[in-house]
């Protein structure tokens, strides 16, 4: 087990302990140790061998023993006892917004509610409102939350699902019966969350490869045969791992088929039928014979289509576009020249301004925008106006000392992530706002406003000439929290009108603006920067997830503000500050 896997078990011990009413100090100790391990770079195995696990912050002798056990045998007796004690369904209940462990415990202890179904029945019967610590409002929220939890049950965010996929992919590729293997499905289409991990393997003996997969031990789930050449593994938390094994000559078609989406495959099948071909799970055929497919481009070419990148295969007009040669050259991570939304130790970030700058330069970027929290964001160390001035002095000094000149110069921009206050005002007086190179405006409070009021709030901010770009425009947290109610179309239309950019917040928990809206925003001429919302130097790597979303939104590089060269960005920001409103229709430098 690696540190993160150990941390996940400790976290679960804390959660299960809370549900079973264990000593709260113990519970908190496990939770704290989990956080330590998540962030640690220490070599746990070495520490365990030396008996020095207690040198880690927050790790006492009892927890050290659990960690050592996990490292040695891959499981913990205490963890398994707790698991046996707590009904599986309580995990689902915990995912309902507003139901913490305390309330879930009450539901279970007082009413024996241990599943979403029982909870729904009790809430509909009005029994939940009567429980201590609940009430009619909570009961209503529970009912609303049920739909959200059902929709997200068994799904994982992209990075976690991808990590799993790579794990199984490596196993497949290393197996002697397997000639080639690829990731397909939602992950290959770079969906923000995935319900399943889909893999395709080529083997001269597909049945043997399936048998080997079914015999795979230590995956913590139940494997089953799912038809000829197919195996399916259900992991404990509901995620499915599907493997299809085919003969090598069928591999390309099988990968394309397993990549989907269903709507895209249907459109391809219709196209094939028009040309006297047949396209289905067995591949592309003409008469009774397979059309040989050396690669996916050959598949699309056989159908008279330009190649469609997996990200676009959502049944949203991509087949028609491919027929007319209108598939854009999609933005790539290497197109980025910098980024705008980052936090430092001035607010709630972990790295200093200088560390962030060097990390950005180390990625080959030419600029980095620092956007710490604004004064009302007390929870995140928001900056009072006087501290803004001090930070600006630091940034100016850094640019002067380290920015360099000419071709290779690097620039730190002075930005802010200003709260959009409930009345739609930006969280600094105008003279302070004017001192920034650019302003990101984000909603961080009063999420419960009705849609009309929330939309008006954001529209007022968008109409403010000091606003450069809108941050995480719906506030959603994938699989955790739905976004607030807001008329996204109206916000995009207003951003187009006022020349305000809308970020794709690339934090994999957010990916907000949703890619389903990105294409519309770009069509309206709105610039869409990909911003990492980095709170550490490593957080800068989030941009890769944001580029996935940008690609799913059909964006080419010029529509992504941070693919622009430094000088073009400087001109854009300067124009913006003078009330100009250049958009994506501006010629790309
Ligand atoms: Zn934010
Ligand atoms: Zn932020």
Give the pLDDT confidence of 139-172 residue by residue, as tens digits. Answer: 988 888 888 888 777 789 999 999 999 999 999 9
Rounded to the nearest whole angstrom, what is the distance from the C-alpha of residue 336 to the centroid of ligand 1? 21
Rounded to the nearest whole angstrom, what is the distance from the C-alpha of residue 506 to the centroid of ligand 2? 10
Rounded to the nearest whole angstrom, what is the distance from the C-alpha of residue 583 to the centroid of ligand 1? 23
Residues 252, 275, single domain; the answer is no
Rounded to the nearest whole angstrom, what is the distance from the C-alpha of residue 90 to the centroid of ligand 2? 32
pLDDT of residue 481: 81
Rounded to the nearest whole angstrom, what is the distance from the C-alpha of residue 417 to the centroid of ligand 1? 7
Which of 284, 303, 327 lies at the terminal end of a domain, its last residue? 327
**Domain assignment of residue 549, yes or no:** yes
Rounded to the nearest whole angstrom, what is the distance from the C-alpha of residue 382 to the centroid of ligand 2? 11
Residues 161, 148, single domain; the answer is no
**Domain assignment of residue 585, yes or no:** no
Do the beta carbons of residue 441 and residue 466 sit within 8 Å?
no
pLDDT beyond 50 at 182: yes
Residues 370, 448, single domain; the answer is yes
275 CA to centre of own chain: 40
Rounded to the nearest whole angstrom, what is the distance from the C-alpha of residue 539 to the centroid of ligand 2? 11
- How far apart, in Å, are the Cα atoms of 245 and each of 191, 282, 370, 463, 478? 23, 12, 48, 55, 32
What average pLDDT is seen over the chain? Answer: 92
Rounded to the nearest whole angstrom, what is the distance from the C-alpha of residue 341 to the centroid of ligand 2? 6
pLDDT beyond 50 at 91: yes
Rounded to the nearest whole angstrom, what is the distance from the C-alpha of residue 470 to the centroid of ligand 1? 10
pLDDT beyond 70 at 588: no
pLDDT beyond 70 at 119: yes
pTM confidence score: 0.81
pLDDT of residue 453: 97
Closest ligand (CA of 444): 1
pLDDT of residue 237: 67
pLDDT beyond 50 at 586: no
pLDDT beyond 90 at 584: no
Rounded to the nearest whole angstrom, what is the distance from the C-alpha of residue 227 to the centroid of ligand 2? 47
Closest ligand (CA of 535): 2
With cut-offs at 50, 70 and 90, classify the pLDDT of residue 218: low
CATH number at residue 172: 3.30.460.10
pLDDT of residue 249: 95
pLDDT beyond 50 at 585: no
**Domain assignment of residue 586, yes or no:** no
197 closest CA partner among 219, 175, 228 = 219
pLDDT beyond 80 at 575: yes
With cut-offs at 50, 70 and 90, classify the pLDDT of residue 349: very high
Rounded to the nearest whole angstrom, what is the distance from the C-alpha of residue 438 to the centroid of ligand 1? 15
Residues spanned by the domain of 360: 333-577
Do the beta carbons of residue 93 and residue 15 sit within 8 Å?
no
Pairing state between β 278-280 and 283-286: antiparallel
Segment among 94-108, 529-543, 547-561 with least mean pLDDT: 94-108
Could you tell me if residue 426 is left (phi over 0), alpha (psi between -120 and 50 degrees) or otherwise beta? beta
Residues 441, 531, single domain; the answer is yes
Rounded to the nearest whole angstrom, what is the distance from the C-alpha of residue 440 to the centroid of ligand 2? 9
Q: How far apart are CA 373 and CA 18, in angstroms?
A: 33
Rounded to the nearest whole angstrom, what is the distance from the C-alpha of residue 107 to the centroid of ligand 2? 36
pLDDT of residue 439: 98
Closest ligand (CA of 542): 2
**Domain assignment of residue 588, yes or no:** no
Closest ligand (CA of 349): 2
The secondary structure of the chain in percent helix, strand, coil, rounded to multiples of 5, reads: 50, 15, 35
Rounded to the nearest whole angstrom, what is the distance from the C-alpha of residue 48 to the centroid of ligand 1? 39
Tens-digit pLDDT profile for residues 371-394: 999 999 887 889 999 999 999 999
Rounded to the nearest whole angstrom, what is the distance from the C-alpha of residue 348 to the centroid of ligand 2? 9
**Domain assignment of residue 380, yes or no:** yes
pLDDT of residue 589: 39
Within 10 angstroms of residue 117's Cβ, the number of other Cβ atoms is 12
Rounded to the nearest whole angstrom, what is the distance from the C-alpha of residue 381 to the centroid of ligand 1? 12
pLDDT beyond 80 at 238: no
Rounded to the nearest whole angstrom, what is the distance from the C-alpha of residue 432 to the centroid of ligand 2? 19
Closest ligand (CA of 341): 2
Residues 239, 349, single domain; the answer is no
**Domain assignment of residue 589, yes or no:** no
Residues 163, 307, single domain; the answer is no
Per-residue DSSP letter, 586 = S
Closest ligand (CA of 471): 1
Q: How far apart are CA 446 and CA 480, in angstroms?
A: 17
Residues 253, 354, single domain; the answer is no
Helix-helix angle 61-73:3-19, to 10 degrees: 120
Rounded to the nearest whole angstrom, what is the distance from the C-alpha of residue 372 to the centroid of ligand 2? 7
CATH number at residue 566: 3.20.20.140
pLDDT beyond 90 at 312: yes
pLDDT of residue 347: 95
Closest ligand (CA of 416): 2
Residues 353, 321, single domain; the answer is no
Rounded to the nearest whole angstrom, what is the distance from the C-alpha of residue 418 to the centroid of ligand 2? 9
Rounded to the nearest whole angstrom, what is the distance from the C-alpha of residue 471 to the centroid of ligand 1? 6
Closest ligand (CA of 445): 1
Q: What is the token pair recorded at 529?
A: 């920067």
Residues 116, 176, single domain; the answer is no
With cut-offs at 50, 70 and 90, classify the pLDDT of residue 222: low
Rounded to the nearest whole angstrom, what is the distance from the C-alpha of residue 93 to the centroid of ligand 2? 29
**Domain assignment of residue 112, yes or no:** yes
Average pLDDT over residues 492-515: 97
Rounded to the nearest whole angstrom, what is the distance from the C-alpha of residue 558 to the centroid of ligand 2? 24
Closest ligand (CA of 372): 2
pLDDT of residue 20: 83
pLDDT beyond 50 at 541: yes
Rounded percentage of the chain residues whose pLDDT exceeds 70:
97
Give how many domains the chain has, as a whole number: 4
Rounded to the nearest whole angstrom, what is the distance from the C-alpha of residue 348 to the centroid of ligand 1? 11
With cut-offs at 50, 70 and 90, classify the pLDDT of residue 482: confident
Rounded to the nearest whole angstrom, what is the distance from the C-alpha of residue 282 to the centroid of ligand 1? 47
Which of 198, 232, 258 lies at the terminal end of a domain, its last residue? 258
Rounded to the nearest whole angstrom, what is the distance from the C-alpha of residue 385 to the centroid of ligand 2? 18
Residues 143, 285, single domain; the answer is no
pLDDT of residue 220: 53
Tens-digit pLDDT profile for residues 412-458: 999 999 999 999 999 999 999 999 999 999 999 998 899 999 999 99
Closest ligand (CA of 532): 2
Tens-digit pLDDT profile for residues 15-56: 888 888 888 888 999 999 998 888 888 899 999 999 999 999
Rounded to the nearest whole angstrom, what is the distance from the C-alpha of residue 467 to the centroid of ligand 2? 15
CA dihedral of residues 572, 576, 581, 586 (deg, nearest 10): 0
335 closest CA partner among 1, 558, 589 = 558
CATH number at residue 322: 3.30.210.10
Residues 528, 495, single domain; the answer is yes
Which of 327, 356, 377 lies at the terminal end of a domain, its last residue? 327
Do the beta carbons of residue 510 and residue 477 sit within 8 Å?
yes
Residues 108, 217, single domain; the answer is no
**Domain assignment of residue 277, yes or no:** yes
Rounded to the nearest whole angstrom, what is the distance from the C-alpha of residue 535 to the centroid of ligand 2? 8
CATH number at residue 144: 1.10.150.110
pLDDT of residue 144: 86
Rounded to the nearest whole angstrom, what is the distance from the C-alpha of residue 458 to the centroid of ligand 2? 17
Q: What is the token pair recorded at 234?
A: 């259900």
Write the secondary structure of 523-540 as one string of H (helix), E (strand) and C (coil): HCCCCCCEECCECCCHHH
């Amino acid at each position: 087990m690696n540190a993160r896997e150990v941390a996940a078990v400790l976290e679960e011990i804390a959660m299960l302990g809370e549900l079973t009413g264990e000593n709260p100090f113990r519970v908190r100790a496990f939770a704290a140790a989990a956080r330590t391990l998540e962030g640690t770079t220490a070599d746990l195995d070495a520490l365990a061998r030396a008996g020095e696990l207690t040198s880690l912050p927050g790790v006492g002798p009892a927890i050290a023993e659990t960690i050592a056990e996990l490292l040695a045998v891959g499981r913990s007796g205490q963890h398994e006892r707790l698991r046996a004690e707590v009904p599986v369904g309580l995990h689902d209940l915990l995912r309902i917004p507003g139901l913490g462990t305390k309330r879930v415990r009450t539901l279970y202890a007082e009413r024996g509610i241990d599943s979403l179904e029982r909870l729904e029945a009790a809430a509909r019967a009005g029994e939940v409102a009567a429980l201590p610590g609940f009430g009619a409002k909570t009961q209503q929220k529970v009912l609303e939350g049920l739909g959200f939890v059902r929709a997200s049950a068994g799904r994982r965010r992209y990075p976690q699902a991808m990590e799993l996929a790579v794990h199984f992919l490596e196993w497949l590729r290393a197996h002697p019966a397997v000639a080639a293997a690829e990731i397909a499905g939602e992950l290959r289409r770079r969906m923000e969350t995935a319900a399943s991990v889909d893999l395709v393997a080529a083997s001269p003996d597909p049945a043997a490869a399936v048998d080997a997969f079914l015999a795979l031990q230590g995956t913590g789930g139940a494997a089953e045969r799912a038809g000829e050449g197919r195996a399916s593994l259900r992991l404990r938390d509901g995620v499915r791992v599907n493997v299809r094994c085919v003969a090598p000559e069928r591999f390309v078609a099988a990968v394309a088929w397993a990549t989907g989406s269903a709507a895209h495959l249907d459109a391809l099948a219709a196209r094939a039928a028009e040309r006297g071909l047949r396209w289905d799970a067995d591949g592309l055929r003409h008469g009774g014979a397979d059309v040989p497919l050396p690669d996916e481009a050959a598949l699309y070419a056989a159908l008279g289509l330009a190649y469609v990148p997996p990200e676009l295969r959502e049944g949203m007009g991509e087949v028609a576009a491919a027929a007319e040669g209108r598939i854009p050259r999609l933005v790539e991570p290497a197109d980025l020249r910098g980024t705008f939304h980052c936090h430092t130790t001035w607010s709630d970030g972990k790295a200093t301004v200088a560390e962030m700058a060097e990390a950005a330069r180390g990625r080959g970027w030419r600029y980095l925008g620092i956007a710490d929290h604004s004064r009302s964001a007390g929870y995140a160390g928001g900056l009072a106006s006087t501290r803004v001035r001090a930070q600006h002095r630091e940034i100016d000094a850094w640019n002067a000392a380290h920015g360099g000149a000419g071709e290779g110069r690097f620039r730190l921009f002075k930005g802010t992530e200003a709260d959009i206050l409930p009345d739609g005002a930006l969280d600094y007086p105008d003279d302070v706002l004017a001192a920034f190179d650019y302003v990101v405006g984000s909603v961080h409070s009063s999420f419960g406003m009705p849609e009309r009021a929330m939309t008006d709030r954001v529209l007022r901010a968008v109409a403010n000439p000091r606003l450069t770009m809108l941050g995480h425009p719906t506030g959603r947290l994938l699989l955790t929290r739905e976004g607030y109610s807001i008329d996204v179309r109206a916000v995009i239309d207003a951003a187009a009108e006022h020349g305000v950019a809308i970020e794709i917040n690339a934090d994999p928990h957010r990916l907000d603006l949703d890619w389903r809206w990105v294409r519309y925003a770009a069509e309206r001429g709105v610039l869409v920067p990909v911003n990492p919302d980095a709170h550490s130097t490593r957080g800068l790597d989030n941009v890769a997830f944001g580029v996935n979303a940008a690609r799913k939104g059909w964006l080419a590089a010029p529509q992504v503000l941070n693919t622009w060269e430094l000088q073009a960005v400087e001109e854009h920001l300067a124009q913006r500050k003078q009330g100009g409103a250049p958009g994506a229709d501006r010629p790309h430098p």
